[in-house]
Amino acid sequence: MEKSNFVDQIRIFCRSGHGGAGFRHFRRDKFTALGGPDGGDGGRGAHIILKGNSNLWTLLHLRYYKNVLAENGEGGSSSNSSGKAGKDVIIEVPLGTIARDEETGKQEVEILEDGQEVIWIPGGRGGLGNAHFATPTNQAPEHAQPGEEGLEGWKVLELKVLADVGLVGFPNAGKSTLLSVITAATPKIADYAFTTITPNLGMVEYRDGKSFCIADLPGIIEGAAEGKGLGHRFLRHIERNSVLLFLIPADSDNHKKEFDILVSELEQYNPELLNKQFIIAISKSDMLDDELKAAIEKELPAAIPHLFISSITNKGLTELKDLLWKVLNEPVS
Query: Which CATH number do you get for residue 306?
Result: 3.40.50.300
Same domain, 269 and 294: yes
Q: 248-287 burial, b for 16+ CB within 10 Å, e for fewer?
A: bbbebeebeebbebbbebbeebeeebeeebbbbbbbbbee
Same domain, 53 and 144: yes
Please state, in angstroms and as integers, the Cα–Cα distance from residue 159 to each residue in 60, 81, 153, 275, 280, following that order.
11, 43, 20, 22, 26
109, 130, 159 - which closes a domain: 159
**Sorting pLDDT into bands at 50, 70 and 90, what band is 6?**
low
| Structural domains counted in the chain | 2
- Average pLDDT (236-244) is 73
Per residue in 183-223, pLDDT (tens digit) is 754 444 333 333 334 556 677 888 877 888 887 766 555 44
For residue 70, how far is the Cα from the chain centroid? 23
Per residue in 111-144, pLDDT (tens digit) is 989 999 999 999 999 999 998 998 888 888 989 9
Instruction: Flag whether 220 is in a domain.
Output: yes
CA 235/CA 144 separation, integer angstroms: 53
Q: Which of 96-105, 147-156, 227-236, 261-270 has the highest mean pLDDT?
A: 147-156
CA 71/CA 92 separation, integer angstroms: 18
Instruction: Flag whether 182 is in a domain.
Output: yes
Which H or E run includes 109?
Answer: strand 107-111
134, 159, 184 - which closes a domain: 159
Edge-to-edge strand ranges of the sheet holding 97-101: 67-69, 9-15, 152-159, 97-101, 107-111
* Single-letter amino acid, residue 321: K
Which H or E run includes 233?
Answer: helix 231-238
Instruction: Flag whether 333 is in a domain.
Output: no
CA 205/CA 326 separation, integer angstroms: 14
Same domain, 267 and 204: yes
Same domain, 24 and 134: yes
Same domain, 200 and 267: yes
In the DSSP assignment, the letter for residue 287 is G
Instruction: Flag whether 174 is in a domain.
Output: yes
Rounded to two decimals, what is the model's pTM?
0.64
137, 159, 181 - which closes a domain: 159
Same domain, 302 and 175: yes
Instruction: Flag whether 24 is in a domain.
Output: yes
The predicted pLDDT at position 219 comes to 53
The predicted pLDDT at position 288 comes to 87
pLDDT of 149 above 80: yes
Q: Check: CB of residue 131 under 8 Å from CB of residue 40.
A: yes
**Sorting pLDDT into bands at 50, 70 and 90, what band is 302?**
confident
Same domain, 152 and 180: no
Mean pLDDT lowest among 131-135, 146-150, 227-231: 227-231
Q: Check: CB of residue 222 under 8 Å from CB of residue 151.
A: no
The predicted pLDDT at position 189 comes to 36
Same domain, 139 and 234: no
Q: Provide CB contacts within 8 A for 85, sequence distance 6+.
A: 43, 44, 45, 46, 73, 74, 123, 126
Same domain, 126 and 191: no
Q: How far apart are the first and last CA of the chain?
A: 47
Q: Check: CB of residue 166 under 8 Å from CB of residue 242.
A: no
Mean pLDDT lowest among 36-40, 150-154, 187-191: 187-191
Assign residue 65 the CATH number of its domain: 2.70.210.12
Instruction: Flag whether 105 is in a domain.
Output: yes
Q: Which domain holds residue 262?
A: 165-328
pLDDT of 102 above 70: yes
Q: Would you call 275 helix, strand, or coil by DSSP?
A: helix
CA 270/CA 263 separation, integer angstroms: 11
Same domain, 121 and 198: no
- Average pLDDT (33-42) is 85
Same domain, 134 and 188: no
Residue whose C-alpha is closest to residue 181's, from 288, 69, 314: 314
Q: Check: CB of residue 195 under 8 Å from CB of residue 171.
A: yes
The angle that helices 317-328 and 175-182 make with each other, rounded to 10 degrees, is 90
Same domain, 171 and 155: no
Instruction: Flag whether 133 is in a domain.
Output: yes
pLDDT of 92 above 70: yes
Using a 10 angstrom Cβ sphere, with 0-12 exposed, 13-18 middle and 19 or more buried, the burial of residue 313 is: exposed
Instruction: Flag whether 217 is in a domain.
Output: yes
Q: Would you call 277 helix, strand, or coil by DSSP?
A: strand
